């Protein structure tokens, strides 16, 4: 296949084994700062996807809470295919620590009593939220924590 500009467009989505956490890219700035982009895959591509209201709520809760665990987050955003998120961090290249930050953040989701900023002033689709759905996604992801480091299916 022709090589495309977007890293994940060159990833064979039939070969991955979700859930997983994968380093998807790295850029170094002129002053030496390093930006790392992680692919946090929650559901198996083309098999399962996160419902929009649940994904939207877990995005709000994670985006707010992950910043309590590190000040190196640049961005956390959902994938349009609704199977995962991209986490971008600056000057943070410790994969195991990323897993630990993700675990803490998902535990925050389980503890949440409300979805932060789910109102028409602070969100672009405030009617489209599900706290219960978000907790279910977090729970399923945490149950498979031991598998997060394995990105690809076992070779048969």
Q: Are 134 and 110 in contact (CB under 8 A)?
A: no
Closest contact distance (angstroms) between CB of 1 and Zn ion is: 34
Q: How many CB atoms lie within 10 A of CB 15?
A: 11
Q: Which of 66, 59, 72 is nearest to 122 (CA)?
A: 59
- Give the contact letters, 101-130, x = binds to Zn ion (CB under 5 A), - = no: ----------------------x-------
Is the Cβ of residue 35 or residue 117 nearer to Zn ion in the bound state? 117
Closest contact distance (angstroms) between CB of 17 and Zn ion is: 29
Is the Cβ of residue 32 or residue 80 nearer to Zn ion in the bound state? 80
Rounded-to-integer distance, Cα 136 and Cα 109, Å: 9
Rounded-to-integer distance, Cα 71 and Cα 69, Å: 7
Closest contact distance (angstroms) between CB of 23 and Zn ion is: 27
Q: Which residue is nearest to Zn ion (CB)?
A: 123
Is the Cβ of residue 117 or residue 151 nearer to Zn ion in the bound state? 117
Is the Cβ of residue 61 or residue 89 nearer to Zn ion in the bound state? 61
Rounded-to-integer distance, Cα 107 and Cα 102, Å: 9
* Residue 153, CB-side half-sphere exposure with 13 Å CA sphere: 9
Closest contact distance (angstroms) between CB of 40 and Zn ion is: 18
Taking the alpha carbons of 11, 16, 18, 19 in that order, is the dihedral positive or negative? negative
17 near Zn ion, judged by CB under 5 A = no
Closest contact distance (angstroms) between CB of 117 and Zn ion is: 7
Q: Which residues bind Zn ion (CB under 5 A)?
A: 123
């Amino acid at each position: 296949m022709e090589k495309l500009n977007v890293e994940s467009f060159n990833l064979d989505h039939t070969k991955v084994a979700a859930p997983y956490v994968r380093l998807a890219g790295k850029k170094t700035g002129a002053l030496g700062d390093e930006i790392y982009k992680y692919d946090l895959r929650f559901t198996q591509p083309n098999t399962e996807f996160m419902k929009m209201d649940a994904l939207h709520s877990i995005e709000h809760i994670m985006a707010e809470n992950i910043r309590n665990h590190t000040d190196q987050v640049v961005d956390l955003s959902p994938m349009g295919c609704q199977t995962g998120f991209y986490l971008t961090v600056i000057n943070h290249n410790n994969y195991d620590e990323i897993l630990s930050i993700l675990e803490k953040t998902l535990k925050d989701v389980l503890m949440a009593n409300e979805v932060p900023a789910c109102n028409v002033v602070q969100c672009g689709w405030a009617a489209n939220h599900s706290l219960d759905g978000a907790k279910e996604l977090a729970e399923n992801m945490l149950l498979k924590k031991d598998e997060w480091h394995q990105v690809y299916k076992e070779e048969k």
